[in-house]
Amino acid sequence: MPLSPATPEAIAKTVALLRNGGVVAFPTETVYGLGALVWDTRAVARIFELKARPEFDPLIVHVADRPMLERVAIKLPDSAQLLIERFWPGPLTLVLERQARVPELVTAGLATIAVRMPSHPVARAILRALGEPIAAPSANPFGYLSPTRAEHVAETLGQRVDLILDGGRAIHGLESTIVAFEPVPALLRPGAIPAESIEAVIGSLERRQPSQAVTAPGQLPVHYAPRTPLRIVEPAGVALEERRTAGALALRDAFDGYAATRRLSERGDLREAAAAFFDALHDLDGLGLERIDAQPLPERGLGLAMMDRLKRAAAR
Ligand code: AMP
Ligand code: MG
């Protein structure tokens, strides 16, 4: 079992693992997080794989300080500034406009990014030593309770994570409160900081369901879905003359005659494919094509989340 007390040596090992594509569970003041280096799309894809969620969920990005925040988010509204001064470091997540360099896999294609600055000494030590933001959702498989002890992570994700740092029981044992600012300040998820405390600083918050905010494409103006009509079809079966004005999104094979093709993984590896998925869609969407033909992906592992995304795009 890769379970280790959060000693300085184990923290150094965690940082080395994160720098090399590792996925590590670590304590925060809310619940245990399952983290990867924010820039490493393959490691981020592994988070989704480990959590076995049937769709992509935007991840909370953890930062150590202000400069690190500015590497992932832009244009902080005044009310966000006020909340940062009052509640960071702590269990408050802010939904902000994201820097273009943040991989879309991290934000599940959203133009916004959820960021927080944890107060837990172990989380802070990792972030400081790494010097880079960490994308980390809760370290539980899809549908399970959030983990408040290292043992919970060990029992459910066990050998499949590179390391589980044991920092004792999470202090709050409750997720962070999530606040968004566009078009008006809104509470997306109640959490460890009461809504009333936030309202005391910035005034009243609109109450929005997280499901409305994230999972309903089209409801949010910032939600990214390709503008180009997309259909799920086996490109091999598409007539040559129909290919000329279209782009193909394929798992591993190249198909002749398409105006453009993006292959997600030459080895047909679903993790590698997920790491490239949003970029490929974005690329094809930018070419001004008549249509995107997306090859059906195997509906297992990360293929499930990619197919979920493709089906939504196709339904528009
Ligand atoms: P967790 O990290 O497991 O506590 O869950 C992260 C949650 O944050 C997601 O399920 C969303 O509800 C929310 N979230 C993350 N990014 C965004 C975003 N860009 N916009 C709105 N909600 C977000
Ligand atoms: Mg969670």
Chunked into runs of 10 residues, the chain (316 residues) has average pLDDT values of 92 98 97 97 97 92 98 96 98 97 94 96 98 97 90 93 95 91 93 93 86 42 70 97 97 96 96 91 93 96 90 86
The span from the CA of 264 to the CA of 273, in Å, is 4
- How many other C-beta atoms lie within 10 A of the C-beta of residue 267? 10
Q: Give nearest CA residue, ligand 1 atom 13.
A: 58
Query: HSE (CB half, 13 Å, CA atoms) of 236?
Result: 5
For residue 224, what pLDDT is reported?
A: 56
For residue 220, what pLDDT is reported?
A: 40
Instruction: Domains for the chain: give ranges and CATH numbers.
Output: 3-207 (3.90.870.10), 230-314 (3.40.50.11030)
Cα–Cα distances in Å, from 280 out to 40, 60, 162, 266, 286? 16, 23, 28, 14, 10
For residue 8, what pLDDT is reported?
A: 97
For residue 1, what pLDDT is reported?
A: 61
Ligand 1: nearest atom to the Cα of 93: 8
The span from the CA of 300 to the CA of 316, in Å, is 24
Q: Which of 214, 220, 222 to mutate to test the pocket of ligand 1 (most atoms within 8 A of CB)?
A: 214
Distance 147 CA to ligand 2 centre (A): 9
What tokens appear for 19 in the block? 């720098």
For residue 176, what pLDDT is reported?
A: 95
Burial of 157 by CB count in 10 Å (0-12 exposed, 13-18 middle, 19+ buried)?
Answer: buried
For residue 207, what pLDDT is reported?
A: 87
Does 130 contact ligand 1 (Cβ within 6 A)? no
For residue 216, what pLDDT is reported?
A: 35
**Max alpha carbon distance in the chain (Å)?**
63
For residue 45, what pLDDT is reported?
A: 97
For residue 171, what pLDDT is reported?
A: 86
Distance of CA 289 to the CA centre of its chain: 28
Q: Give nearest CA residue, ligand 1 atom 15.
A: 58
For residue 279, what pLDDT is reported?
A: 84
